[in-house]
Amino acid sequence: MAGNTGVAGSSVSSRLLAILDCFDPAHTELTLTEIAARSGLPLSTARRLIVELTNWNGLERLVDNRYRIGINLWRIGVLAPRQRDLREAALPLMHDLCAATGETVQVVVLDGLEALCVEKVAAETAVRTATEVGGRLPLNATAVGKCLLAFSPRDLLLHVLEAGLQRQTGYTIVQPGRLTRQLRQVRSSGVAYSHEEMTLGAVSVAAPILSGGILKGAIGIVVRAPGRVDSLAAAVKTASLSIGRTVS
């Protein structure tokens, strides 16, 4: 890079994107110094790029010198057709499901080796799940994740196993053989479960969203009482089929 660059191979664009990568659901507001630290950029470089992003309204600066994602990045981001279409098809059914059960409903898509939460609908009284829209979930420990894993090419499972199964709770499946067996069952039944494997006290059911035979995402519902989970499976599966028919 121009000037007295330390490490070669990094472009201006990559630095700019590194700054954006600093933000996640747990870090929606950051100071200049925090951004510099998280992105690994020198302070002056980070500042210059942040100023440019701010002028474009990609970031907005608060009175206490913290930065947050701005309106322009939001405006561009919501255009992402993959999420946009799925969300539009799923939202009405998610609300129906939420209204009928009073529980938390979420729709996810595959993003690398994780599930990315595209939309969440929660009743006031529902279980407070850690996940937010835009947040990531492990594939092996969640019902929606297992759906994605079961209906994706076998390569994905191999990559996930290679990366290692992370334990979330005492109930998380970390044995490859056990996961593989469960995925076979998910494929045949079309429904996946998670029994406190992600969060203690939370149980969930999910079904894949398929359109024309190809996987678009998964829809799941999270409940507290373990007894209710079986009776919800049919509802979730019905919703997933309906969404699959609507989505392009």
Q: Could you say which of 19, 23, 39, 49 contacts DNA (CB under 7 A)?
A: 49
Interface with a copy of itself: number of residues (CB under 8 A): 45
> Which structure tokens are listed for 87?
């969300």
Contact 197, 144 (CB under 8 A): no
In whole angstroms, the minimum distance from the beta carbon of 61 to DNA comes to: 8
User: How many Å apart are CA 239 and CA 144, to the nearest integer?
Assistant: 14
Residue 49 is a binding residue for a copy of itself (CB under 8 A): yes
| β-sheet bridge partners, residue 214 | 211
Q: Which is nearer to DNA, 67 or 193 (CB)?
A: 67
Q: Which residues contact 53 (CB under 8 A, 6 or more apart)?
A: 16, 19, 59, 70
- Lay out the site mask for a copy of itself across 17-46 (x = CB under 8 A, - = otherwise): x--xx-xxx--xx-----------------
Q: Could you say which of 32, 37, 73, 241 contacts a copy of itself (CB under 8 A)?
A: 73
User: How many Å apart are CA 77 and CA 20, to the nearest integer?
Assistant: 12
> Which structure tokens are listed for 226?
């373990």
Q: Which is nearer to a copy of itself, 116 or 210 (CB)?
A: 116
Contact 58, 70 (CB under 8 A): yes
Neighbours of 199 (CB within 10 A): 20
Q: Which residues bind a copy of itself (CB under 8 A)?
A: 2, 11-14, 16-17, 20-21, 23-25, 28-29, 49, 52-53, 56, 58, 60, 68-84, 91, 95, 109, 111, 116, 121, 133-134
Q: Which residues bind DNA (CB under 7 A)?
A: 1-8, 11-15, 31-33, 41-45, 47-49, 65
